[in-house]
Structure 1
């Protein structure tokens, strides 16, 4: 088992997630400098819909395009029999009568690609999805952890092959260049600075243009990227629009193509690789303990504490499982974080075993001014103990507190806020006797009241009439003109005590009369 720690950078810097090689690796990896040339690995899955089904023998995925049914994806056995993507489904059946036909399922294909993107986080924390069957991995600064770019590329392809997936992989200095290469089936590495020479001979299909635009360019005798790039740029933009110029610049490495990550890189992370897959709860807990020691030490050195932590377990078969915990206050206490993870570890399903476990701190906050080991004041200690108790409760049930809001209406006067947030009291706000809990759907009451605008002396609760022993004067609440509609009626609230001993908070909307509406808004203590 090899243990490593890394502190990945923000989106504009390369990220470092090591993958195991046979060599001993240092415990801490430093971020590549800003001057490091950017390197991107593009992956394209040409048979993703077919390989998702894992069905042996000739298989075809088809889709309806208008009144036609077209073959979208084919298994290697079907292609060996002479079938081609884009072929009419009837022709495919005539050539290979025994072929198995399955309609397309775009949602399932997207879900598989998303799982592959999550799986690719084992190589770098900056992974993006491109189109319906492509991935972009920013591998800047991590290639040396795998023995170089070529070894990293081979490791990715080898693991995908073991998962039953075929892929085309290319490494270049620009995302657009790597994508253009894999779209034409090109495998390999392009040295930095040689992007234009590598892309110029490629056909226009590498640019992923609209079929109509490609037909026009072919009609003009322009059949490769180099010939199109050699044309005067103003004429291209004027005739074909800026999209063609942008696609050319991205492919040639003259313009950067941004990578939209599936999730922002974490502030800090630590990882374990296992020579033998871990299948027991004890092994997972031991790995978590070791990762927490490394991560909390790095947080302490940086003067920060984690507000959220994510445990990601990579299974041998390519499945990726995640569990997350959150803390109300920034924390770097391994014992406390271990307790938060303890019950959630039951959700992990090792099955054939985990070969890699990663612990990330996606969100951290400054945590300074606490000198650990020298003791804390009683007030600070009680605050930390309360925060840890609320953290443990929050893993099971929602935890929140009430805060006053600037409103006279009872249902607007309080709001749920974080249990750890600072509560600000609005100017002029003063607490009044209110029920502990307002009824969400106040039941309508039948009331006998003194006139005009007097308190009730009898009311019907359920099927029983009750006599009112005591009632306080009405509390008038007017509509909030800046928020309510003009037709909203004022309310009169009464605190009443019944002969049964119950104390109620009843409300009358509008003036006294046959149209007055009485409701029960809550029970008083």
Structure 2
């Protein structure tokens, strides 16, 4: 069985070349794409001409303008770039059925069993590059046995060959060593690396992963920036330096993430490829002859496209969980609002009410040319639901008709404050007072069906224990000082002893075993106080709750 062969395709100028294809701008003029980060504009993509003039990704627009005065600047449209990459991914499936997008500017292609159809790996890669050239896209390709090695070859092979250091480097060797070193030509470098190189692609022979990537920088392992900086401080700047280190020490210092990337690159750990699956697209749009900006006009356009969206969802027996409304403005920018539903729905009125609540957040600026509405997340709605007793079904039906469904309320509240800010309490198995419940998102959880009755009374309000001034003795109190005043006790019930969970080190329970008391004060307040017997922390009296 032939070994697995992977191709990694990198588009170093994808963002700028997408704009170049769209605007037909002069390719001889530098093109940069910028995005706002904090208080400055940072370059996210550049053209080849801009790179030749000294610009780079991550540079601020202010510095780039100082280096090159004539720049064609465009604002980044991340959504358009993502859709553009998905289109390239689908188009590239004519070379191999197993193609997936990688990051924001790359593809991963499994060509196992496909290369012979094109006359071999080199011929196949040459045809892929020729096809991308016809699309006016610059591509760099790496081919190896693993995804990690192919990714490294596509992005770092050219730099490694250009910066390859041998014995002829004046600053590298001592004088005596330089005098005895043999002169090596550039052709010997590719033989040492065992990589067949060309201008835009690099192919590592099967079974030669270690030799192919050993001289690459550690960034070729797809590590985090912090890990790369730490490795550089330790003198581990190349992949070969990491491979030769003991795995136990690397694991203690950097965790499993570093070893995982090394194993994936060398083929010791599988790294599956998830090809781009055809998706059901529930999106509708409307174009206007003239830009609009008034809220009534936007609502009128929304009504026309929302009716079509709900009809499409009903045909597939689906309900929308998330709705995305996009407004394509006259200055080629996009404003958007997103609405989440607590319960999937394809009701026109329900979805319309939620979108109108957030419509004021939509910035129209100079006007809107196109409105687009998409159900980004959907769920199957069963046509028939078992409701049990007939009376129960009628009660649920009447509640829905009266719009008293709690899911509708959660959706409307979520449109204002966010679904993640609405919680629902569920019972938890614990004797610790503050751990008898757990908090879940109300939008994605069902109501609690049964709460276990506590063995004794519990307060309706719980707060963080507050120290009260009282004698440091476990005897019942007659009075105590708390929150700046003296409280006189008329009745006391207790104690109820609660021990901490010994298998956990809870900082709040380091005061040891607690004796809880229900006390009735002369003011009518009924409080829940306890005496902590002391452990790692000193003993004392505390107040933790209040009864109704």
The bucket for the TM-score relative to the shorter chain is 0.5 to 0.7
Cα shift at 1:44: 4.7
What is the SS of the residue equivalent to 1:276?
strand
Distance 1:182 1:45, change over 3 A: farther
What is the DSSP-based 3-state SS (H/G/I as helix, E as strand, rest coil) of the residue aligned with 2:524? coil
Aligned residue in 2 for 1:15: none
Provide, for residues 184-234 of structure 1, a one-character-per-residue CA deviation record: whole Å limited to 9, x for no partner: xx45379xxxxx9xxxxxxxx9876342225669635876369976xx935
Give 2:66's aligned residue. 101
Q: In the alignment, which residue of structure 1 is the partner of 2:355?
A: 341
Give the direction of change, closer, same or farther, for the CA distance of 1:522–1:86 in structure 2 (3 Å limit): same
RMSD over aligned Cα atoms: 5.2
Is residue 435 from structure 1 mapped to residue 469 from structure 2 by the alignment? no
Measure, in 1, the Cα distance between the counterparts of 2:125 and 2:529: 68
TM-score by length of 2: 0.55
- 1:43 maps to 14
Alpha-carbon distance in 1 for matches of 2:215, 2:287:
44
| SS of structure 2 residue aligned to 1:309 | strand
Q: Does 1:326 align with 2:340?
A: yes
Distance across 2 between alignment mates of 1:391 and 1:177: 53
Among 402, 406, 422, which residue is 2:425 paired with?
A: 402
Alignment partner, residue 85 of structure 1: 53
Q: Which residue of structure 2 aligns with residue 119 of structure 1?
A: 80
Change (3 A) 1:120 1:354: farther
Q: Secondary structure at the match of 1:118?
A: helix
CA gap 1:316/1:178 in 2 versus in 1, 3 angstroms: farther
Q: 1:304 aligns with which of 318, 343, 350?
A: 318
Q: Relative to structure 1, is the Cα distance of residues 238 and 445 closer, same or farther in structure 2, using a 3 angstrom cutoff? A: closer
Taking the TM superposition and a 5 Å limit, the aligned residue runs for 1:147-186 are: 186=133
Counterpart in the other structure of 1:482: 503
| Counterpart among 182, 187, 207 of residue 219 in structure 1 | 187
In the alignment, structure 1 residue 473 sits paired with structure 2 residue 494: yes
1:386–1:243 Cα change, 3 Å? farther
Question: Shift of residue 521 of structure 1?
Answer: 0.8
Structure 2 partner of 1:21:
none
Give the drift of 1:496. 0.9
- What are the residue-to-residue correspondences of 1:277-296 with 2, within 5 Å? 277-296=291-310
More helix by share: 2
Q: Could you list the per-position Cα deviations for residues 466-494 of structure 1 after superposition, in whole angstroms to 9, with x for gaps in the alignment?
A: 21011111111111123346955111211
Q: How does 1:49-88 map to 2 (within 5 A)?
A: 50=32, 52=34, 84-86=52-54
Instruction: Spell out, residue by residue over 1:428-469, the C-alpha distance to the aligned partner (whole angstroms, 9 max, x if none).
Output: 663753232312x432101258x6x33221111223222101
Cα separation, partners in 2 of 1:500 and 1:320, compared to 1, 3 Å = same
Match of 1:447 among 467, 470, 475: 470
- Summarize the alignment of residues 191-270 of structure 1 with structure 2, pairs less than 5 Å apart: 209-214=157-162, 219=187, 224=198, 233-234=205-206, 239-241=211-213, 268-270=282-284
Out of 395, 419, 428, the position equivalent to 2:442 is 419
1:379 pairs with one of 396, 411, 421: 396
User: Which residue of structure 2 aligns with residue 68 of structure 1?
Assistant: none
Instruction: Find the aligned partners of 2:465 and 2:486 in 1 and give their Cα distance.
Output: 18
Question: 1:315 Cα shift?
Answer: 1.4
Residue 456 of structure 1: SS of its match in structure 2? coil
| Alignment partners' CA distance in 1, 2:461 and 2:533 | 24
- Deviation readout 1:242-271 (Å, 9 max, x if unpaired): 999x9xxxxxxxxxx97999xx96762222
- C-alpha contact (below 8 Å) 2:357/2:416 kept by paired residues: no
Please tell me whether residue 491 in structure 1 is matched to residue 452 in structure 2. Answer: no
Query: Which residue number corresponds to residue 188 of structure 1?
Result: 135
Between 1 and 2, higher relative CO (CA 8 Å, sep ≥ 6) is seen in: 1
Counterparts of 1:227 and 1:470 in 2: how far apart (Å)? 86
Paired residue for 1:317, among 302, 321, 331? 331
Per-residue deviation at 1:370? 5.3
Verify the 8 A CA contact 2:335 2:364 in the aligned structure 1: no
Contact 2:531 2:541 in 1 (8 A): yes
Match of 2:372 among 342, 358, 368: 358
> What SS does the corresponding residue of 1:287 show, helix, strand or coil?
helix
How far has the Cα of 1:499 moved from its partner? 0.8
- The CA deviation at 1:357 is 2.1
1:504 aligned onto 2:451: no
Give the 3 Å change call, closer, same or farther, for CA 180–475 of structure 1 in structure 2. Answer: farther
CA distance in 1, matches of 2:110, 2:538: 77
Q: Per the alignment, in what secondary structure is the counterpart of residue 379 of structure 1? A: helix
CA distance in 2, matches of 1:181, 1:44: 20
- Given the superposition, is the C-alpha separation of residues 44 and 510 from structure 1 closer, same or farther in structure 2, using an over 3 Å criterion? same
Q: Is contact 1:435-1:522 (8 Å) kept?
A: yes
Distance 1:407 1:415, change over 3 A: same
CA contact (8 A) 1:119 1:319 kept: no
Give SS of 2:416's match: coil
Give the unaligned 5+ runs of structure 1: 1-39, 54-60, 63-71, 88-98, 104-108, 129-135, 142-167, 191-195, 197-204, 247-256
Contact 1:505 1:521 in 2 (8 A): yes
Structure 1 residue 345 displacement after superposition? 0.8
